[in-house]
Copies of this chain bind each other. A is one copy, B any other.
Amino acid sequence: MDRTSLMTGIEKDWNKFLSLPISEKLPYFERDGRIYDCLFAQQLDRKSLTHIFEIADKLRTMTKKKEGMDFVNSLLSHKKAMLYFVQPSTRTFLSFLNACHILGIKTGEIRDTSTSSELKGETPEDTVRTFSSYVDMIIMRHPTPNFVEKTAWLMNKTNRPVPVINGGSGKDQHPTQAILDVYTLYRSFNSEIENKTIAMVGDLKRGRTVRSLSYLMKNYKNVKLIFISPKEFAMESDILEFLKKHNISYYETDNFEEGISQADAIYMTRIQDEHDKNGESKKVDISSFEFKQKHLDIIKKTAIIMHPLPRRSEIEISVDEDPRAMYWRQERNGMWARAALISIIFGVDHKVAALK
């Protein structure tokens, strides 16, 4: 189905569009076989992930010298982006901001809706359309589920659409976090993610990063997953079903030490108590799911420790100095992966790839 005929059928009805399976929506968010709006982890297959990673690697190598940085800076110097982040997030915000600046994109930002025309009774849809009037791309984090997707859908109906990147929307969509997580595996394992064992630890029930990462593992052969958590925070059944369907082997345990000792990558997460309804997180003892200095002795010498950050007490500070602690580099990988994604959306990736 091509984009136009897809539009014809559903463009009038957002709720009908929203209810489509993601696979059927994808053509609507592409242009010329290229990603245009980046909304879901499901848009990313093995080939597109590898392409993002190769461009990201190239960008970071090129920009080590001033000449390279000045060249990269000129790639999108004619573009302007709007960062619309109306939910607390300095980490993702700054990562995108600097990804834009690396490519020479000029940025404007809205980080507080109280400065906005919403005060004057404007709908969120009109507000977003206004922002899009002045720029060439919107990068958005929004608390309302599916709002970012709706923005992209609306934009595509106008006579001046601009690409939309999801910087986190509702509980389950944060595709660039998933990209940077896989990119960190890719870099740490010398491009070979196949055959690796990945342990995920903590609040697997509500952590969107572990959910997306599990999903994306279908792109790599023979990966094994270990889900380590108290039973109250076990991985949800929809993901387990997905893994079974794709023959991805996994097992669940509440034995932290046994689980991490077998892993090539240990993905730590924090308790997502902002999603608590009645403070239920406080009733669960998570102290035996924290990575302490002493655990460095029981994990593989080649293992890596990841964390989407911010952390609380899941990882003891002194662990930071171990070379296997990968979370700070993981964070930085995010900026490069986002710069790569943006360069692909605007079609200047071939200029990056062409350079020696």
Contacts and interface: CB of A to CB of B under 8 A. Distances in A.
Given A69-B78, A97-B134, 6 more contacts: A93-B115, A94-B108, A120-B274, A126-B309, A133-B335, A157-B321
Interface string A70-90: 100110011010100000111
A106 B63 CA distance: 15
Given A88-B119, A120-B310, A134-B335, A98 B80 contact: yes
B116 A88 contact: yes
Interface string A16-42: 000000000000000000000000000
Contacts of A89: 115, 117
B130 A91 contact: yes
A157 B321 CA distance: 9
B130 A331 contact: yes
Contacts of A224: none
A90 B115 contact: yes
Nearest to A112: B115
Give the size range of A's interface with the partner: 35 or more
Contacts of A127: 90, 310
Interface in A156-213: 157-158, 160
A122 B312 contact: yes
Interface of A: 63, 66, 69-70, 73-74, 77-78, 80, 82, 88-91, 93-95, 97-98, 101-102, 106, 108, 110-112, 114-117, 119-122, 126-127, 129-131, 133-135, 157-158, 160, 270, 274, 309-312, 321, 328, 331-332, 335
A135 B98 contact: yes
A129 to B, nearest CB: 7
A335 B135 CA distance: 10
Contacts of A158: 328
Given A95-B134, A134-B94, A312 B121 contact: yes
Given A78-B73, A328-B129, A310 B117 contact: yes
Contacts of A129: 328
A83 to B, nearest CB: 10
